[in-house]
Structure 1
């Protein structure tokens, strides 16, 4: 397998997500800045979806994604939970399957494990089959803010 630099992996993940979404009938838009919390926006039937893309290799038959942001400075390694309201979906690109899997971050806790291969012991309970996450989830309506008056 070809080795990729970390930034190259991210770029490959975004390219694969772009191709996958176009194949599913979405128009795909890209932000004009790399500082946005999302990597692309998918549009279809009047609905926009802000999508963050992650490149994750399969380990022990599954892809794992921690829903946190990590950085290092002179004081050590730091981690903070992601803002689950900043994106509508996360696309996980797995190079071993060459597939994109889409999760709604608000549906999950601190991490998510998508099972690609069957478990060795046949366990079915509490297993998230990656194949179920091949489509972009429906966008939930924004919560109603009771403090705002309607126009």
Structure 2
């Protein structure tokens, strides 16, 4: 199935890219979430407009991403969770927990899809998560996991 991406899809492409994907992936994931449209002749003509708009946003977003990166480096992010006596959490820390903790620490609002939690954080202590702010700007955010 040939599709034109409307949004950045990890491991697939950026907005305006024409990609070939399996039918099920396109029909069941990309199209219902408005991440892509079917590539028709009319839609292919709009690809250049999408790319131009993306390029103007990207230049503006690069400076903003660097500002957000500087803000994140100054934060002390603490995530509280329930844990047992041995320091093992009842559950794990998710990207949503990290985004909420950053906001509570006075940081900027992040998109939970931009936060990569390595494996699963299931213990109390200091950990590091990766935040993708821009294709050129990725930062490691140290977090402290404490008990409630």
Greater share of helix: 2
TM-score (norm 2): 0.24
Find the structure with the greater CA-based Rg. 2
